[in-house]
Structure 1
């Protein structure tokens, strides 16, 4: 189905894109401003046509969507309201309701005009910060610095922003001062940091501007329709090929910090147990003795280039946890780069033993990091191709030999992957039947089924999910729940229930680009050809997933039978937090036969879980951690008084130290001394342990729900 639709998109778009350019920009671009090029204009018109004609979510390009794009673009440029004034906003507000017309015409002049105003302001305040370092600073005053301004109005004047930036410089100096260095050395460090920021700003290209605007445009349509410029398309496809050399972490830029977005299971960062999602990278050094390079404010691609490197080489990082106090001292870690082959990152097993009224219950735990599949080997007919289902089948065989009483499959942090693997993995636990329904933009529904009658495991089963379990994870866990084949435990999943098709724009644009550029410029153009992508890639939402029960996995995700409190903020992460997300809806259920029914036992399992948690110290600390994180997130400012800030930082560090030791004692581990490193391979996963206990409760209760001939 998807291949046919892809061909239809290509042919139709190649014939339909014939928009004419609009009038010149409303404001002239200066001689030193970044400017759009003709190729970007052509790409914009093609992408707009593909989105309006073939995206699953039918969104017309009108003034309403123009307003959304405008706001999104501003947010990407100055989310924290640190650079632009109310006067700047009044100036650029003239473009708020005309971006839709500009997009259809391929006119990017207004987009670049807005960006160039922002960049001038950006450079102005970085230069202001450098000059501010020449002043004297009094750290005994009771001043505060408001670092979180995204909900505040734009500054009324330059003077208001100058005051803000003066306090920011003072905060940066004070934070460095509390690490023990003298003021002169700290000023040198900050001057170098600010100079680096300015240097990175001046290295921005028109491709960076184009990408930022295209992100604002596509995200206004839906969260998973994305345009990638040629450079980003290459990085995307490297990720899809699941191979790179580095530390095994994906990065993003957040409020001028290079931030760990996710950690690759099995990579150097993951195995170190010292790197976590949302950690901010403050500085990078090469080798064991290389000089530290401050990367605060760096472009993300430049930071990645510094952190990645040949396998076997050493890189050192200074990390600051997002949950830590802003005044916390960065921790230093050392990693050896490796070639990260994601296809070699496999499902893994563990066995947990529980006591049930004096009887030992063995629970096999299978952790699945992604729904992976080596497509090249699969298509080539290699019988030993790498896949999630093949690996899990082998693990199930070994667990059965070890006489486990039940199996827990851990899908936490599993963002999905291969749809085929989600279907085939479900087939390991049922005889045959439908697994997922897919409805395309023409409202045609396709039912994807497991047709292999082999059942590899028939015993008690539980699936653990969290807020970052998405896509294929939701298809699998939703099918297991609909069939009554296993218990779902954890927190509400992400809610990503849409299907994207990756469209190589070279295949659409290149055949007609010469004529298109001729119509725009009146001059003939030579079109470069070859295997290298020239025009980027569009990931277009073309369909929607539905469970076999008829419910969409979109927006609502999968709701567990027994729920845990969410460490991941549900109001900040998930499809239902995305303004442009497709809604939840339902279609007709498909024909399937349930193999079990947990309705009578779930209330008892919830009761047993709640009673256990009422006296669990680990659970108490988990709830306290969640509340502390909410409190930290609600804070918008920080004191600039040295004595008060040091007291606050010392108290925060002591609290973290004591809380970690209390958590260790609750799990039966000895407390650590200050400065002592955590022993490796310790079992600190309280929630996974509790999931196994819930399955043990089910086994102990007996056959109150039968799984008949799965």
Structure 2
């Protein structure tokens, strides 16, 4: 299947002969309005051609889809109806049925026009909020502030929207007032906050506008066809590989300074002994002789782009040490970039112990955050490439040496990743055989198999999933369930059953056109800054997943053998909540042989689970928390009366404190005293604990059955 997907790059190369850059004409364009780069129009044309010709789901670009794109883009600009006037939206409606024509033509004029109107309103109301801080507010009035306005009508007048923002300022002040600080201090705090918000808004670039519109466009086609601008493409690939090339430091904007907020152990920054938490980076230079670029006031993503870079290259930083004044002489630190492995977001293990009839049962729990793969290392033949399967195999070997009795694979919150990793990870638990079926847009079905007869772990297995377990997580869970290899526990999964191919647009757009576009944009090739991607990446939906039993994972996901209540709202998250999602369907099952069967034991396991839950205080609190969350989600406004709000907050705080202590006691932990900080690394994961208990029940039942058979 992978070879077939790579053919998409060859097919896409046929697009390279038609596109040419053009400059759009703007109506009512102001001197400070953002405008697209010429290459964005070309990227739009290429992406459109790829989607219309090669996307699995065929959606014609017509007036109907134009309306959907329009509504989605408008929502991205002002989802909460806080900035745009009804008259603005009325003006925008002229584009409802023309965006499809604009997309085909690569014309972004109307898209940027809408954004620039929004940006003017945004700036105006933030400035209005700053001016409102000069007023004195009466906190004894029985007013309310409606903070959730998504279903409210657009404000009809400037005075109406000013009233909305005046109440927002009053609410912000009241929040600070309840902390006990003076009005003067609170107003100064808010002035800095609003000024910072405005500063960040002014740093928005045409890439941000283009990305927002491309999100609206691609999501109207299907939820998982996505365009990533160069910065987002780099982050996507870092997330997939769980590694990056750079200095080994996490950065954050703090009062206009790019500030060190974390240092990776063993990375270049750590080994230098010259980079510390809260140091401020004021300038960056490439190589040993490059000129320093001042980065004070920069956006964080722009700063990161020039600090990261290829392994072995040199970057120099001008640093202001923590606590030193802005006028201090900066120190210069020279670092050689290295490959940084992101261990904190890789597979991890722990061992839970359970008591079963006086015997200790040890359950190994492997938490897998994603199906990651360092494809560049893998393709280059590096035997130590980073991947989920390699990490989990090492963990399983370790758990076997520690004599665990069973293993729980925790895939909660795991949104998927590499299809190859889903197949190979399944192969650690089965001898060999099909894992997933894939049908492409020509209705050709391919069966992807585990062809390695070795089994890393053959013992009792459970898989814990939730609503955010998606894609590769669902492939793995479905295969384990279909083979009868393990018990699936948790909630119905997300339901993402589509296959995406990541297409680097730099490899499609012709070199000649690239040079022209870069010249028009006034850009030259960057030196030593890592990825040279200039046009972004398209994740194109090219196929659909099916279980080996013939059912699609699309839309319905995987249903657990034993269900837990969902802390994630099922009606708000999941493929079946996406308007553009593909439907569920089926194809013929493939040839596979079950390796186990839980049918006879599941009723007994479920009864043992239900009996525990009926008397479990933790389970009761979990159900109450879910109901409380639903109630809070239905609230749309808050009182601006100081006495009432304080009373509500005090009651909520007291209730939360008491309930937290009740949860702790139910889990066998010591209750906290008022103001006491909870100890680190406490075991508060009730659902993971119960998953291990269910697997312990299965092991115990199996031992009893084996003992009876032995006597017979």
TM over 0.5: yes
- Whole-angstrom CA distance in 2 between matches of 1:699 and 1:419: 31
Name the residue aligned to 2:482: 482
Q: Deviations over 1:598-646 (max 9, x none)?
A: 1222222222211110110000111111111111111110010111111
Name the residue aligned to 1:369: 369
TM-superposed deviation, 1:37: 3.0
Gap change, CA 1:191 and 1:12, over 3 Å in 2: closer
Q: Tell me if the contact between 2:240 and 2:374 (Cα under 8 Å) persists in the aligned partners.
A: no
Gap change, CA 1:42 and 1:102, over 3 Å in 2: same
* Unaligned runs of at least 5 residues, structure 1: 253-263, 269-284, 291-297, 317-337
Name the residue aligned to 2:278: 287
Alignment of 1:388-399 (within 5 A): 388-399=388-399
Q: Tell me if the contact between 1:248 and 1:267 (Cα under 8 Å) persists in the aligned partners.
A: no
Alignment of 1:222-261 (within 5 A): 222-243=222-243
Gap change, CA 1:247 and 1:573, over 3 Å in 2: farther
Gap change, CA 1:314 and 1:237, over 3 Å in 2: farther
Q: Tell me if the contact between 1:354 and 1:696 (Cα under 8 Å) persists in the aligned partners.
A: yes
Q: Deviations over 1:94-136 (max 9, x none)?
A: 0001000000011111111111111111111112111111111
Name the residue aligned to 1:208: 208
Gap change, CA 1:680 and 1:314, over 3 Å in 2: farther
Alignment of 1:129-528 (within 5 A): 129-243=129-243, 287=278, 301=301, 341-342=341-342, 345-511=345-511, 513=513
- Whole-angstrom CA distance in 1 between matches of 2:460 and 2:488: 12
Name the residue aligned to 2:291: none
Q: Deviations over 1:291-333 (max 9, x none)?
A: xxxxxxx97748989x9999x99999xxxxxxxxxxxxxxxxx
Would you say 1:532 and 2:532 are equivalent positions?
yes
- Whole-angstrom CA distance in 1 between matches of 2:685 and 2:480: 24
- Whole-angstrom CA distance in 1 between matches of 2:616 and 2:204: 53
Q: Tell me if the contact between 1:13 and 1:46 (Cα under 8 Å) persists in the aligned partners.
A: no
TM value normalised by structure 2 = 0.83
Q: How many residue pairs end up in the alignment?
A: 645
Q: Tell me if the contact between 1:374 and 1:386 (Cα under 8 Å) persists in the aligned partners.
A: yes
Q: Deviations over 1:389-438 (max 9, x none)?
A: 33333333343344433222211222223322221221222111101111
Name the residue aligned to 2:543: 543
Q: Tell me if the contact between 1:463 and 1:477 (Cα under 8 Å) persists in the aligned partners.
A: yes
Name the residue aligned to 1:81: 81
TM value normalised by structure 1 = 0.83
Alignment of 1:33-44 (within 5 A): 33-44=33-44
- Whole-angstrom CA distance in 1 between matches of 2:15 and 2:98: 26
Q: Tell me if the contact between 2:155 and 2:161 (Cα under 8 Å) persists in the aligned partners.
A: yes
* Unaligned runs of at least 5 residues, structure 2: 254-261, 267-275, 282-297, 309-315, 324-337, 707-712
- Whole-angstrom CA distance in 2 between matches of 1:456 and 1:498: 29
TM-superposed deviation, 1:458: 2.5
Gap change, CA 1:412 and 1:210, over 3 Å in 2: same
- Whole-angstrom CA distance in 2 between matches of 1:408 and 1:83: 48
Name the residue aligned to 2:594: 594
Name the residue aligned to 2:659: 659
- Whole-angstrom CA distance in 2 between matches of 1:58 and 1:106: 20
Q: Deviations over 1:330-381 (max 9, x none)?
A: xxxxxxxx99622675433333232333333332222223323344444444
- Whole-angstrom CA distance in 2 between matches of 1:313 and 1:627: 49
Gap change, CA 1:17 and 1:92, over 3 Å in 2: farther
Gap change, CA 1:182 and 1:23, over 3 Å in 2: closer
Query: 3-state DSSP class of the match of 1:702?
Result: helix
TM-superposed deviation, 1:69: 0.5
Q: Deviations over 1:630-685 (max 9, x none)?
A: 11111110010111111111222221111111111001111111121212222211
Q: Tell me if the contact between 2:393 and 2:456 (Cα under 8 Å) persists in the aligned partners.
A: yes
Would you say 1:32 and 2:23 are equivalent positions?
no
Query: 3-state DSSP class of the match of 2:56?
Result: coil
- Whole-angstrom CA distance in 2 between matches of 1:653 and 1:577: 33
